[in-house]
Amino acid sequence: MIAWLVPPGIALLPVALGDRAARALATAPWTHRCPRAALVLWQAAGLAAGLGAIGLGLVAAVAPLAALFPHGVHTLARHLVTGHGLDGLGPPQVLALLWSTALLTWLLAHTIHATTRTAHERRRQRLLIDIVADHHPDHDAYVLPSSRKVAYCVPGRHRRIVVSQGTLDLLTISELRSVLHHEHAHARGHHDLALLPFVALTHAFPRLSAAHTACRAVALLLEMIADDHARQAHGGLPLARALVRMASHDDGPRPATFTLTDTGTAERLQRLLTQREHTPWVPATAYATAMLLLSGPLAVLLAPLIFITT
């Protein structure tokens, strides 16, 4: 049974290392060169840590019931179905089972709460935009009658790309096209869904600095991914100029939106104005690492479903 503790334990290594490991990944230069691969690695690390923590408790809980983890889970399930409850489990095992159950419930509750709150805020944003802004088919965007310099996306099924009249007056045609392409990339890529689990994690564990580091890093990577879409279509210089102009007139981000200049403007400018080296082994290594991180806890948790005993 000890061997079954190893995979989820390895998945918990990033958590055990704390914010130092999170900051090391967030500031690694390769992540800015390969933001999509870095995003996948962050997602895998977060999911593996959660599954590993849950799996570790389950493995410890059923250890007295069988030599192998799948058989122990099946035995526990039979006990519960036949009315024998937690027979065979001592106080440490009961605590381990409660730990896994409570952690799963806590994470699901905060994820649902964050999803509901974000959806409510987006509905409010869309209602306000529909009331005060005019849709311009030429730009496929809603234009706010305001001198404030803003450009942002309200993501979701009924997305809104929003710019202000001040932004239209400030930017050139090429800069405006780059900005709109950037915001449309957020909407098409469903970047809000990629960020949401990390937002929920910061709410679930507000004192866990690694969670806040991860959330900030993922938000920056999503901006870089949208930047890459705009650069492929219009080149890097127009968007870089727009970033400088918008940053100097930034009025602050709006909740539940992707705002052009709300994250890592300096790092994004450096990427847009620098020729990137093509190193295919870097994303390949990141994807392989992500698969390895997830494979252990997933194998443990799926084993009882695969190895059915009578």
Q: Which has the closest alpha carbon to 59: 114, 121, 119, 10?
A: 10
Q: Give the per-residue pLDDT at 56.
A: 84
Task: Please state, in angstroms and rounded to a whole number, the distance separating the CA atoms of residues 276 and 32.
Answer: 10
Give, in order, the Cα–Cα distances in Å from 160 to each of 47, 163, 224. 30, 10, 20
Q: Give the per-residue pLDDT at 304.
A: 82
Predicted confidence (pLDDT) per residue in 186-241, tens digit: 999 999 999 999 999 999 999 989 999 999 999 999 999 999 999 999 999 999 99
Predicted confidence (pLDDT) per residue in 17-27, tens digit: 667 888 999 99
Least confident of 25-29, 64-68, 139-143, 225-229: 64-68
**How many Cβ atoms sit within 10 Å of the Cβ of residue 77?**
12
* Whether 165 contacts 147, CB under 8 Å: yes
Query: For the chain, what percent of residues have pLDDT higher than 90?
Result: 51
Task: Please state, in angstroms and rounded to a whole number, the distance separating the CA atoms of residues 40 and 45.
Answer: 9
Specify the length of the chain in residues.
Answer: 310
- Dihedral of CA 201/202/204/208: which sign? positive
Tokens of 57: 């408790």
Predicted confidence (pLDDT) per residue in 16-58, tens digit: 666 788 899 999 999 999 999 999 999 999 998 888 888 888 8
Task: Please state, in angstroms and rounded to a whole number, the distance separating the CA atoms of residues 250 and 51.
Answer: 40
* Whether 160 contacts 125, CB under 8 Å: yes
pLDDT of residue 246 exceeding 80, the answer is yes
Residues paired with 135 in a beta bridge? 142
**How many Cβ atoms sit within 10 Å of the Cβ of residue 292?**
13
pTM for the structure as a whole = 0.87
